[in-house]
Structure 1
Amino acid sequence: MRNRDTKLTVLMSVRNGEPYVRESVQSILRQTYEDYLFLIVDNASDDRTPEIVESFRDPRVRLIQLEKDIGQTAALNLGLGMTRSPYIARIDADDVSHPTRLEKQMAYARAHPDTALIGTWTTIIGPDGSPIAEKETSTDPDVLMEELLFRNVFAHSSVMFARAAVSELGGYPTHARYAQDYALWLEVTLRHPTTILPEFLVSIRRHDEQIGRSGLSSERVRDPMVLIDNILSRPDLPSSLLNLKNKARARASLRYAAGLREEGRWSQAFVELGRGLMLDAPGSLGKESAVYIAQTVLGMRGYEWICSARRRRPMGT
């Protein structure tokens, strides 16, 4: 394999990424840190994705074309097995990296060799690349672990991780289709130091053709709920997290309830809502949990209508 001795491999798994893959690949090839292998696993695309990737003709790019769609998790694990670089940086085919992203993450990795997972702050962009929002999170390792019990604070396309730390876990888990990265970060963070660089170094694109970034379908939100429940049931859970058990389980249940309600599964939704409310006092659940409660009771359309009406209401009324 070309560039087999490089310290870094950038890994992309893509299926039918024609609309955005060119911009994503360009963002990696224009990095100020240049010593890497760019391994792109094409998951049986039936559009122009392979043609676009091959058009770059950069010696750092290696394209692996699969004849059959094996799913993103299996494709990522295949890529992990094809590199011996000590560090792996992820990028999805619709996201964009800031030119200094790899340089800054590698600098941190060299200065903190015990750190197994390095994320960054992110900018959310629309289909046309226009900014929508900025996502910040704490950089304190203890706070990161606590936050992970409530949500995935590591944007997948922002992470660089130590290959050894992920390999010892068997790679990406295959039991969580919509949360394979979340499951992995939870396990890595329980075992190793992790961090998030307080800079906006990656843009995460929001568009309609995505499997795990948006929506409140019950399947999408059930995976994280099961993961959190499993983590919280572990006998080796750090003592600092024990007092968050009920609150984390309550948040996961309320989000699941909103997903069930969105699918019209009313009775199940309200059973799950009751479960969440019994796990923790409603007054201590926080704003995000209150949103899930409102979405369960009102439905997504009702909730959005009320939010829209509040925005239209004249000031002072």
Structure 2
Amino acid sequence: MTAAAPPVSVVIPAYNRAGSIRLAIESVLRQTWADFDLLVVDDGSTDGTQGVVRGIADPRLRLIETPRNMGASAARNLGIAEARGRWVAFQDSDDEWLPLKLEKQMARLSAPGAAYVAAYCGMLILGAPDEAPGTSGRLQVRYFPGPEETALEGDLLLPLLRTSLISTQTLVARRDRLLEIGGFDPDLRALIDWDCVLRLAPLGPIAFVDEPLALQRFSANSITRDRPRKLAAQIRLAEKHAALLEAHPAIHAGRHYVIAGGRRQ
């Protein structure tokens, strides 16, 4: 007899993260909401990441290995395709969830009358993208989204056009809606989460749990550290969503101002 599908599938893409993947996985397995399966998609690692995953004994954990490195978007899309849950949550291989994350988000998503296509939560960012690993000094901590953001749930299309609000490791989304939009864009090398939720937002409202339920850290090979890659992605996003941006001239001008600033750096 096939076991009933859990309501949530968690997807972690990983590439050469032997040093951090255990913490990321264990933070998922510690969730107070325990009815999920966890898919780790190893994207062609060469540093023993697969061995670390196999060394964690939990029936909810499944390792999927790709034949070659395909990129984080393709790895996440493979996880979505293999997911059994109605909802798919994403974790990054170098970050940490706090124990109540899924419970708090699923309380919003499963509330009577709720019609959300996704939910996200607050996140504590530990350190800075341009801070070299091992740098001495006091740790910088920042809450995201910051207090300057006021439109944080419901119809988020216009707020998301202005700025990125939702980081992948904070997102839980309906699997059918993720499949409908084609998942994550494999051609984008950065800002993958921003592009995904921009395509998800027109399909329905998004819930926000205003608590710091995820911790983001910057690894030596974090995409966030790569400014040229980020600038190229900003340009591509502006091109990809040009029709929507052109319908909102002030937002369109703001995006081009940011891109121009990136080119000057």
Identify the TM-score tier after normalising by the shorter chain: 0.7 to 0.9
Gapped regions of structure 2 (runs ≥ 5)? 128-132
Match of 2:142 in 1: 133
Could you tell me which of 252, 257, 274 is aligned with 2:255?
A: 252
1:132–1:227 Cα change, 3 Å: farther
Amino-acid identity (%): 27
**For residue 50 of structure 1, what is the aligned residue in structure 2?**
50
Q: Tell me which residue corresponds to 1:310.
A: none
- Change in Cα spacing, 1:213 to 1:199, as seen in structure 2 (3 Å) is farther
Trace 1:189-208 onto structure 2 (pairs within 5 A).
189-208=201-220
C-alpha RMSD over aligned residues: 2.3
Amino acid at match of 1:141: G
| CA distance in structure 2 between the aligned counterparts of 1:198 and 1:140, rounded to whole angstroms | 10
Q: Tell me the TM-score normalised to structure 1 length.
A: 0.73
Matched residue, 1:119: 120
Q: 1:229 aligns with which of 236, 242, 247?
A: 242
Task: Name the structure 1 match of 2:130.
Answer: none
Q: Deviations over 1:244-265 (max 9, x none)?
A: x122111211221122222xxx
The alpha carbon displacement at 1:132 in A equals 1.7
Do 1:95 and 1:203's aligned partners in 2 also have CA atoms closer than 8 Å?
yes
Aligned to 1:61: 61
Q: Which residue of 2 aligns with 1:109?
A: 109
1:86: how far off?
0.3
1:26-74, Cα deviation, whole Å (9 max, x unpaired): 1011111111100000001011211111111111100011221111111
Of structures 1 and 2, the one scoring higher in RCO (CA 8 A, sep 6+) is 2
Q: Name the CA shift for 1:199/1:2 in 2 (closer, same or farther; >3 Å).
A: farther
Q: CA deviation at 1:173?
A: 2.6
Partner of 2:41: 41
Question: Structure 1 residues 79, 3: CA separation in 2 closer, same or farther (over 3 Å shift)?
Answer: farther
Report deviation, 1:212: 4.1
Contact 1:94 1:205 in 2 (8 A): yes
Q: Which residue of 2 aligns with 1:9?
A: 9
Amino acid at match of 2:144: K
Question: Partners in 2 of 1:2 and 1:33 — Cα distance?
Answer: 22
TM-score (ref. length: structure 2): 0.86
Contact kept? 1:88, 1:160, Cα under 8 Å: yes
Post-superposition offset of 1:98: 0.8
Give the counterpart letter for 1:229 in structure 2.
A
Bigger-Rg structure (1/2): 1
1:187 aligns with 2:187: no
Residues 203 and 121 of structure 1, relative CA distance in 2, 3 Å threshold: same
How far does residue 79 in structure 1 lie from its aligned partner after superposition? 1.1
**1:215 and 2:227 equivalent?**
yes
Q: Is the 8 A contact 1:123 1:131 kept in 2?
A: no
Q: Corresponding residue for 2:264?
A: 261
Partner of 1:133, secondary structure, is: strand
- Counting matched residue pairs gives 251
Structure 1 distance, partners of 2:163, 2:224, is: 13
Q: 252-261 vs 57-66, which deviates more?
A: 252-261
Matched AA of 2:195? A
1:75 CA displacement = 1.1
Residue 188 of structure 2: which of 165, 176, 187 is its match?
176
User: Structure 1 stretches of 5 or more lacking a match?
Assistant: 234-241, 263-317
Deviation at 1:214, TM superposition (A): 5.6
Q: 1:49 to 1:229 in 2, by over 3 A?
A: same
Distance across 1 between alignment mates of 2:18 and 2:126:
18
The answer to whether the Cα contact below 8 Å between 1:117 and 1:195 also exists between their aligned partners in 2 is yes
Structure 1: how far apart are the matches of 2:40 and 2:190?
Answer: 21
Return the structure number with greater helix share. Answer: 1
Name the CA shift for 1:141/1:113 in 2 (closer, same or farther; >3 Å). Answer: closer
Q: Distance in 1 between matches of 2:142 and 2:51?
A: 32
Q: Equivalent residue for 2:99?
A: 99
Equivalent-residue separation in structure 1 for 2:21 and 2:83 (angstroms): 22
Shift of 1:3: 5.6
* Cα deviation code 1:259-317 (max 9, x no counterpart): 2222xxxxxxxxxxxxxxxxxxxxxxxxxxxxxxxxxxxxxxxxxxxxxxxxxxxxxxx
Cα distance in 1 for partners of 2:249, 2:207 equals 25
State the AA in 2 paired with 1:122.
M
Q: Secondary structure at the match of 1:64?
A: strand
